[in-house]
Structure 1
Amino acid sequence: MPDRIVFGAAALPEPERHWLAAVERLPIESVWQGGHVLPPTGTGEAITRLALMTAWTERVRVGTAILLLPLYQPVIVAKQLADLDARSGGRVSVGLGVGGEFKHEFDSVGVPITERGARTDEAMVLLRELWRGEPVTHHGKYFDVEDVTLRPVTPPPPPGSTSGPAGGQPGGPPLLVSGRKAPAMRRAARLGDGWMPYLMSPSAYARSVETISAEAAATGRDLGGFEWMMYVYCSVRADGDRARADVASFLGGAYGDKPASMLDKIAPSGTPEQVAARLQEYVDAGVRHFVISPAAHEDTLEVVQLAAEEVLPRLTLPAGGAAGPVITTAGAAS
């Protein structure tokens, strides 16, 4: 993994062509958007949004944050994701989680909500089997596949190219596990290519690093190349009071009208200097790839621009310059 800190951005409130074009001109390395199948508001679905971002970008990595994997039949979503990865030249990443906040979504697609974790685990295994490009026979508890081969679309070569189509990533897009609880951490350690939690304080992130590292060690897994990410709601403004008002308005009601002091632990806000100080705590806890999700109802591009141009340069790797958290033999983050 890169020996540096990188920023991505959440395309809020919806992927929009001109917004994405502006973000691609910034020192941003990725853009992300998720979505529910039956949201309570008129917002998009994860695969549809991913397709738009894939079509409307040229340079950045594009990803779901998050895809509620247990709601999807894995053979269908494997084909969709493989095709988008191929058409994007291998730029797709899959942030995934189990969901559960809207029970009616699970009822409507015939998936018992109590099975969402186990279905996600099996689906992750099946996705990887299908993305190998070889015949797959899989007889699991929830999914049954007999001698099928998934073939991603073959994209045309870029105009003027003599090297042929770029295609997708060998073995398929990386699977990045989201969540906040111990089962999600264990899933990341056993099956994920990375960890991308949300609404988590720096100290909680450090504890998650310990949990994931210990679980990986117990299963004999080497976490080399594992991505240590954080989806962070924040607002950055020249006027720090405006930024703090952004977060209070954007998240306060949704999360029980939490006091400003509590919101600040999980959603940094303020001037570039103030937000950089808060994000440095996450870097010290192990984060190397931030997804900046503007916690604001307006001028979201300004938040991303200030984050990319004035916050990111202020962040520094811990002594030693490790590309991820350094784990001692006892499994503690240093």
Structure 2
Amino acid sequence: MDRIIFGAAAIPEPERAWLAAAERLPISSIWQGGHVLPPGPSGEAVTRLALLTAWTERVRVGTAVLMLPLYHPVIAAKQLADLDSRSGGRVSVGVGVGGEFPREFDAVGVPLSERGARTDEAIEVLRKLWRGGPATHKGRFWEFADTELRPVAPGAGRQGGPPVIVSGRKAPAMRRAALLGDGWMPYLMSPGAYARSVTAIREEAAAAGRDLDGFEWMMYLYCSVRADGDRARDERAAFLGSAYGGKPREMLDRISPAGTPEEVAASLQAYVDAGVRHFVIAPAAGADTLGIVRLAAEEVLPRLTAGALT
């Protein structure tokens, strides 16, 4: 884990030409998430993931993120296993608890207060079904016996199922990553906060006797990289909107780097020093998002250096 890699978020929607161009860049992964009932006409996570698997050939593809408590885990396990097997084992599952849009929880009959507990149990269900062979589960929310999941292309996916990468920013998400996840992928988090999350996850895992060997230290990073640094900063402010766009520039720079390749590299180096090894670059712009990914991959990534994680 002394190597730094870049991924990209296919914002605003997966498009075949964008993905083909992105695969020619020195990036390792492409991600896209989605809500079940978003306030606008944007896609849903599993549907978008299906497009990513169909329209890419080389890169790892993943959900960033799947609002897992909104889904029945047996159905999700089948969908994700099929996509993983169809893609030759390239799928990763970024999961989160959601909660930004309470109406989608109401519409699917899931109490908002249960989203954390449901996510924890759903991860357990996914893993049981992905192991292969008959599985039995009796939990708080779901129960089944001698149930076997058979992917559409047996043996073509990753053994044991796709990795589960936990997203979030708060202590329960860190605990979930430490105990249940294969990786950690927060968002809108400063380098200092990321470093503290690494410590918290390691301590939680150690207390539970869990070995984090192979654990992925990721960061979903909204940013804009342009030759014109002022353009990049203006784009970022407009993209983040009223919730964050009006914040002081110093605060925005801590959670969403923007500027020239040299400026963004300096910001990302602070994340590397905090423990990040896999960045998912989410272009904070309304146009030419591929240009941001290209500059990030070709001019920011080579400027970053990392030592071995301890």
Letter in structure 1 aligned against 2:18:
W
2:235·2:285 contact (CA, 8 Å) conserved in 1? yes
Distance in 2 separating the partners of 1:252 and 1:46:
23
Matched residue, 1:171: 160
2:239·2:245 contact (CA, 8 Å) conserved in 1? no
Structure 2: state its 5+ residue gaps: none
Distance in 2 separating the partners of 1:256 and 1:301:
22
1:65: how far off?
0.1
The Cα offsets for residues 83-130 of structure 1, whole Å up to 9 and x where unpaired, read as 000000000000000000110010000000000000000000010000
Letter in structure 1 aligned against 2:240:
L
Matched residue, 1:134: 133
Identical-residue share of aligned pairs (%) = 75
* Counterpart mapping for 1:39-54 below 5 A: 39-54=38-53
The structure where helix makes up a greater share of residues is: 2
1:262: how far off?
1.1
1:304: how far off?
0.2
Q: TM-score, normalised by structure 1?
A: 0.92
1:68·1:99 contact (CA, 8 Å) conserved in 2? yes
Distance in 2 separating the partners of 1:142 and 1:296:
40
2:35·2:43 contact (CA, 8 Å) conserved in 1? yes
Letter in structure 2 aligned against 1:18:
A
Letter in structure 2 aligned against 1:298:
A
1:254: how far off?
3.3
1:253: how far off?
1.5
Matched residue, 2:74: 75
Q: CA RMSD in A?
A: 1.0
Distance in 1 separating the partners of 2:275 and 2:47:
32
1:285: how far off?
0.2
Matched residue, 1:316: 305
1:60 has 2:59 as partner: yes
Structure 1: state its 5+ residue gaps: 156-165, 327-334
1:7·1:292 contact (CA, 8 Å) conserved in 2? yes
Matched residue, 2:246: 257
Matched residue, 1:25: 24
| Runs of 4 or more consecutive aligned structure 1 residues displaced over 3 Å after TM superposition | none
SS of the equivalent of 2:30 reads strand
The Cα offsets for residues 266-289 of structure 1, whole Å up to 9 and x where unpaired, read as 000000000000000000000000
Q: TM-score, normalised by structure 2?
A: 0.99
Letter in structure 2 aligned against 1:122:
E
The Cα offsets for residues 194-228 of structure 1, whole Å up to 9 and x where unpaired, read as 00000000000000000000000000011100000
Letter in structure 2 aligned against 1:218:
A
SS of the equivalent of 1:44 reads coil
1:180 has 2:179 as partner: no
Letter in structure 2 aligned against 1:50:
L
Matched residue, 2:236: 247
Distance in 2 separating the partners of 1:306 and 1:214:
36
Matched residue, 2:104: 105
Distance in 2 separating the partners of 1:255 and 1:44:
23
1:3: how far off?
3.1
* Counterpart mapping for 1:97-246 below 5 A: 97-154=96-153, 167-246=156-235
Per mean C-alpha deviation after superposition, the further-off stretch among 75-84 and 249-258 is: 249-258
1:286 has 2:275 as partner: yes
Letter in structure 1 aligned against 2:2:
D
Matched residue, 2:11: 12
1:252·1:263 contact (CA, 8 Å) conserved in 2? no
SS of the equivalent of 1:188 reads helix
Distance in 1 separating the partners of 2:245 and 2:278:
28
Letter in structure 2 aligned against 1:179:
G
- Number of matched pairs: 310
SS of the equivalent of 2:244 reads coil
Distance in 2 separating the partners of 1:255 and 1:268:
13
1:38 has 2:27 as partner: no
Distance in 1 separating the partners of 2:174 and 2:284:
25
Distance in 1 separating the partners of 2:215 and 2:145:
31
1:256: how far off?
6.7
Letter in structure 1 aligned against 2:147:
V
